[in-house]
Every structure is written in structure tokens, then in C-alpha cells.
Amino acid sequence: MPQAASGQLPAGFDAAGFLKAAKLNFIRLQAANDSGRLEEIREFMTDELFEELKNGIGGQQQTDVAALEADLLEVTTEGGRHWASVHFSGQIREAPGAAPAGFEEVWNLVKPADGSSGWLLAGIQQMH
């Protein structure tokens, strides 16, 4: 059974599938942010995080993800919710022709334990 950095994962948790989906959502969210597609971005986030970030979304930028790694740091269950923390790192290019720059951040995701919805982004911590 795969382990998160902090110990055992919950029974039946598909860490590889979760990380694959997390990486795809990272790329999709970058594209939606670049073109200012607010409704698509809202689908990825909790209402609280969306309200906090919505004014900084868009601006017709282009973010190319040159390299992306994802590591599962932790999965816990508290108060009827599952929480997961994913450490993303890699290289992104934020302007055409620019050299890729390194980035590192942790995404905190939440999902109701009853399965009534999927994983939503609840917070982002920049590591640099």
C-alpha cells in the first residue's frame, strides 16, 4: 500500500490515481486562469477560496507547464470531511519565449466524507 509522507493512507485510497487527477487539474486550472474562465475555475475550488482569489484571475496571460511533479503529503479525515495535501513542483513559463522558472507549492484539497461531491481546492501555499 502506498504511503503518504506522514504515514498510512486510508484503506482503498488510490494514491496514484489521485495524483494523476491532481496533475491534470493543476494544468486545467492554469489554462482556465490564463483565459479568465471564472465558472470553470469555480468548479475546482471551495466557495471561500474562489471568493478570495477571483479578483486576481485572468489577465490574458499564458502559463506553460514545462515540468510537473506531485507528491501526496497527507490524507486525513476530520469533521465529516476528507483532507489531502499535495506538494507540486516543477518548471513553468509565464511568458512566450521566457525561460522556464521553478515553482513549488502545496495544494490543500477537501471532499465531503459522504462522497456528495468530489475534491475541491481549499487553499494554496506558495513555498518560495
| One-letter amino acid of 40 | E
Q: Estimate the share of the chain in helix, then strand, then coil, as percent rounded to the nearest 5.
A: 30, 40, 30
Count of Cβ atoms closer than 10 Å to residue 66 Cβ: 12
Quick: pLDDT tens for 35-78: 888 899 999 999 999 998 888 776 667 889 999 999 999 999 99
Furthest C-alpha separation in the chain: 47
Which domains, and CATH codes, for the chain? 13-126 (3.10.450.240)
Q: Is the pLDDT of residue 10 over 80?
A: no
Give pLDDT, residue 3: 45
Q: Do residues 33 and 56 make contact, with C-beta atoms less than 8 angstroms apart? A: no
pLDDT-based confidence at 19, cuts 50/70/90? very high
Q: Which is more confidently placed, 88 or 3?
A: 88
In the chain, which ranges are E strands?
A: 3-4, 7-8, 64-78, 81-93, 101-112, 120-126
Q: Which is more confidently placed, 57 or 34?
A: 34
Q: Is the pLDDT of residue 13 over 80?
A: yes
Q: Which is more confidently placed, 67 or 97?
A: 67
Q: Is the pLDDT of residue 82 over 80?
A: yes
Q: What's CA 76's distance to the chain center, in Å?
A: 16
